[in-house]
């Protein structure tokens, strides 16, 4: 299937109605404020970074039951799974090159660099902002591909309970309970959930204990408290805790069988926000995040990896004039490691200062930011960004930008046991991104398009004896999205075309689909709702894209397309029923491969992905 031609054809369909007097329904209006792009609330139309936002209404309408499921809709985002271990690629970058925040707290593992988004309970999520493109000038390390920030649910006035029960294929059971309440000054949201699924056999070779089903059990707790002391001062606390077990198969010939990860991902944070005078707002944030994974019965890594991060931030926003805004701040965080196998070092800290100026005039806008990081391990590093925006008429805007990013080496890269090949002299990966964006609102249709180039230097990879800064990559990309109401259907289309290559060998990087497409269609008929999602991905390579002499023929993963259907019924103001059918056509596909060795023969298999599966849910929100 020529996905690029198909993407262009589908993208042009809404354009034929661009000048019709069609208005998007309120539930599909793009939110008018954005927080993550400039690290302060700003009108989304003025944000210089390409972005995608999901609100709570979007989550419920799309019936998304996990963050990876939701993020697959974002242009440029590729979420794949290798035997139950999810990976995230944003604009062709690697998993550890995207910064993930939960209520402002970094939640990635300081050992692996991974963020287990599949462990986070989506029932506690209020809003997700995906910033596409580097933001190291504001956030520091890991923001090469972009920033994903997850905001949890806040309280509402009154007393508002919610109960949700769901059951589906593969012994999938979901339960959640929450209570939201408050007054004009104090608001609280408390929620708990338990998700269990028996799963299916991920591997295909049916060897030994690998014939078993690979399930997951996650229990989560969420608490958020906000209090307004007076007109100019407010404070709040946030607690998020997820823990459970995740079963998988070891793709090794002599694996002991029945391995599992016993995990915990949690974050705690608090803030104090005050308007010191008419022009100066100051905010103090304190936080602690915790990531623990205990591998049991694994041939590869049977033991404990645990990291704790303490952090503090002081952020100041100053309105110099109505058009000139200045952000000044400082960040500090400390990572500590606890592991079954001794590491050479088990702690490090990072101190940073940043400043960003923005100007919004009638004829043009500018943005200029600079950040200085001082890390205990990799020393001092500066990164900056610049953007120029040009309005064209009342409904169009062009944005030209440049941004730098970097990724700090993880504990495993730097300090792992000697047999793992650590290198304490590693330098951070660095990147430079050039981008041109176009945005337009034409008669109820919202268009966005971006063309960009990202150069990544000093990429960290295995150098034969140890980890080294040996690789260089260049990623050229185009992405576009269209949102409108077409013949009564709410439509949201996202297209991404990338060319991610190693600059030395010319090879396409591993597990990056060069073309992706996502299309959502939804319509409401009174109390009944209907929707569909179609997603398509081109082929990708599963071996390393670096070192041209490594392999003459590369292992290829075929492209695939998946169709999901959903429906809902508002039986009463207090009762809502939902049903969804995933992978309706029962497509057999995989996103990663593994190798088995039998004597002198090697066999390659693809990790299974979910076949056709259904889920029925009921949500009860009694009025008290």
Domain annotation covers residue 524: no
Name the residue with higher pLDDT: 590 or 493. 493
- Domains identified in the chain, total number: 1
- pLDDT for 5 equals 38
Average pLDDT over residues 524-530: 96
Per-residue pLDDT for 432 more than 70? yes
Looking at the DSSP bridge assignments, the partners of residue 564 are 533
Which of 259-268, 433-442, 542-551 is predicted least confidently?
A: 542-551
DSSP for 27-87 reads: GGSPPSEESTTTTS-EEGGG--SEEEEEEHHHHHHHT--SHHHHHTTSTTEEEEEETTEEE
* pLDDT band with cut points at 50, 70 and 90 for residue 223: very high
Domain annotation covers residue 329: yes
Domain annotation covers residue 337: yes
| HSE (side-chain half, CA atoms, 13 Å) at 603 | 14
Name the residue with higher pLDDT: 83 or 202. 202
Domain annotation covers residue 491: no
CATH of the domain at 265: 2.40.170.20
pLDDT in tens, 11-48: 333 333 332 332 322 333 345 889 999 998 899 989 99
- pLDDT for 301 equals 62
Q: Which of 106-115, 287-296, 364-373, 405-414 has the highest mean pLDDT?
A: 364-373
Q: In a 3-state reduction of DSSP, which class is residue 130?
A: strand
Name the residue with higher pLDDT: 345 or 615. 615
Domain annotation covers residue 581: no
Per-residue pLDDT for 608 more than 80? yes
Rounded Cα–Cα distance for residues 581 and 604 (Å): 30
Per-residue pLDDT for 254 more than 60? no
DSSP state of 558: P
Per-residue pLDDT for 250 more than 90? no
* pLDDT band with cut points at 50, 70 and 90 for residue 209: low
Planar angle of CA 520, 92, 371, nearest 5 degrees: 110
The answer to whether 130 and 74 have CB atoms below 8 angstroms apart is yes
The answer to whether 246 and 84 have CB atoms below 8 angstroms apart is yes
Domain annotation covers residue 619: no
Domain annotation covers residue 582: no
- pLDDT for 247 equals 83
Identify the helix (H) or strand (E) that includes residue 224: strand 214-230
Name the residue with higher pLDDT: 388 or 467. 388
pLDDT in tens, 332-357: 999 999 988 888 888 999 999 999 99
Whole-number percent of the chain with pLDDT over 70: 88
Domain limits at 358?
24-485+498-512+543-555+588-602
* pLDDT band with cut points at 50, 70 and 90 for residue 8: very low
Domain annotation covers residue 417: yes
Q: In a 3-state reduction of DSSP, which class is residue 475?
A: strand
Which of 49-53, 363-367, 549-553, 601-605 is predicted least confidently?
A: 549-553
Average pLDDT over residues 405-429: 88
Residue 392 backbone dihedrals phi, psi, to 5 degrees:
-120, 105
Tokens linked to 505: 């060998």
The answer to whether 582 and 564 have CB atoms below 8 angstroms apart is yes
* pLDDT band with cut points at 50, 70 and 90 for residue 251: low
| HSE (side-chain half, CA atoms, 13 Å) at 6 | 14
- pLDDT for 304 equals 87
Residues counted in the chain: 624
Rounded Cα–Cα distance for residues 417 and 436 (Å): 44
Q: How many CB atoms lie within 10 A of CB 32?
A: 10
Rounded Cα–Cα distance for residues 281 and 277 (Å): 7
């Amino acid at each position: 299937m020529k996905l690029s031609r198909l993407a262009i054809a589908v993208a042009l369909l809404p354009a034929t109605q661009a000048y019709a007097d069609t208005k998007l329904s309120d539930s599909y209006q793009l939110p008018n404020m954005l927080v993550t792009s400039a690290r302060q609330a700003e009108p989304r139309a003025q944000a210089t970074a390409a972005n995608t936002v999901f609100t709570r209404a979007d989550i419920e309408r799309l019936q998304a039951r996990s963050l990876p499921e939701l993020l697959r809709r974002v242009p440029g985002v590729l979420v794949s799974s290798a035997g139950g271990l999810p990976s995230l690629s944003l604009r062709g970058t690697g998993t550890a090159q995207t910064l993930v925040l939960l209520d402002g707290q970094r939640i990635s593992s300081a050992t692996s660099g991974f963020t287990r988004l599949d462990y986070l309970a989506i029932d506690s999520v209020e809003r997700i902002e995906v910033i596409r493109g580097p933001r190291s000038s504001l956030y520091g390390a890991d923001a090469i591909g972009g920033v994903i920030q997850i905001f949890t649910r806040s309280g509402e006035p009154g007393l508002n309970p919610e109960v949700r029960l769901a059951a589906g294929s593969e012994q999938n059971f979901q339960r959640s309970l929450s209570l939201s309440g408050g007054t004009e000054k104090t608001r609280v949201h408390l929620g708990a959930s338990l998700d269990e699924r028996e799963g299916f056999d991920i591997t295909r070779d049916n060897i030994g204990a690998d014939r078993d089903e690979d399930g997951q059990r996650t229990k989560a707790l969420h608490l958020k408290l906000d209090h307004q002391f007076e007109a100019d001062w407010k404070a709040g606390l946030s607690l998020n805790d997820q823990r459970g077990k995740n079963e998988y198969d070891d793709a090794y010939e002599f694996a002991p069988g029945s391995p599992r990860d016993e995990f915990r991902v949690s974050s705690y944070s608090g803030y104090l926000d005050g308007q010191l005078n008419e022009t100066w707002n100051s905010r103090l944030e304190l936080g602690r995040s915790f990531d623990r994974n205990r591998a049991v019965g694994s041939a590869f890594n049977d033991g404990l990896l645990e990291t704790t991060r303490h952090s503090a931030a002081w952020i100041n926003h100053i309105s110099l004039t109505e058009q000139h805004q200045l952000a000044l701040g400082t960040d500090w965080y400390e990572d500590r490691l606890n592991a079954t196998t001794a590491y050479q070092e088990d702690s490090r800290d990072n101190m940073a200062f940043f400043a960003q100026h923005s100007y919004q005039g009638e004829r043009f806008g500018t943005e200029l930011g600079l950040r200085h990081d001082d890390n205990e391990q990799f020393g001092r590093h500066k990164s900056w960004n610049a953007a120029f925006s040009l309005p064209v008429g009342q409904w169009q805007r062009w944005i030209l930008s440049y941004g730098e990013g970097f990724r700090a080496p993880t504990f495993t890269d730097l300090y792992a046991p000697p047999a793992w090949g650590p290198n304490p002299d590693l330098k951070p990966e660095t990147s430079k991104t050039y981008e041109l964006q176009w945005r337009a609102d034409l008669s109820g249709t919202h268009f966005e398009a971006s063309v960009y180039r990202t150069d990544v230097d000093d990429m960290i990879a295995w150098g034969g004896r140890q980890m080294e800064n040996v690789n260089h990559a260049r990623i050229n990309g185009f992405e576009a999205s269209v949102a409108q109401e077409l013949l009564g259907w709410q439509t949201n289309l996202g297209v991404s075309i990338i060319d991610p290559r190693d600059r030395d060998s010319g090879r396409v990087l591993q597990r990056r689909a060069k073309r992706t497409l996502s299309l959502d269609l939804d319509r409401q008929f009174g109390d009944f709702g209907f929707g569909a999602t179609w997603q398509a991905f081109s082929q990708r390579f599963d071996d390393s894209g670096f070192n041209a002499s490594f392999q003459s023929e590369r292992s290829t993963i075929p492209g695939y397309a998946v169709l999901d259907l959903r429906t809902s019924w508002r039986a009463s103001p207090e009762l809502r029923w939902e049903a969804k059918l995933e992978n309706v056509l029962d497509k057999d596909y995989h996103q990663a491969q593994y190798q088995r060795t039998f004597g002198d023969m090697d066999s390659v298999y693809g990790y299974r992905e979910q076949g056709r599966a259904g889920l029925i849910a009921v949500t009860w929100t009694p009025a008290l």
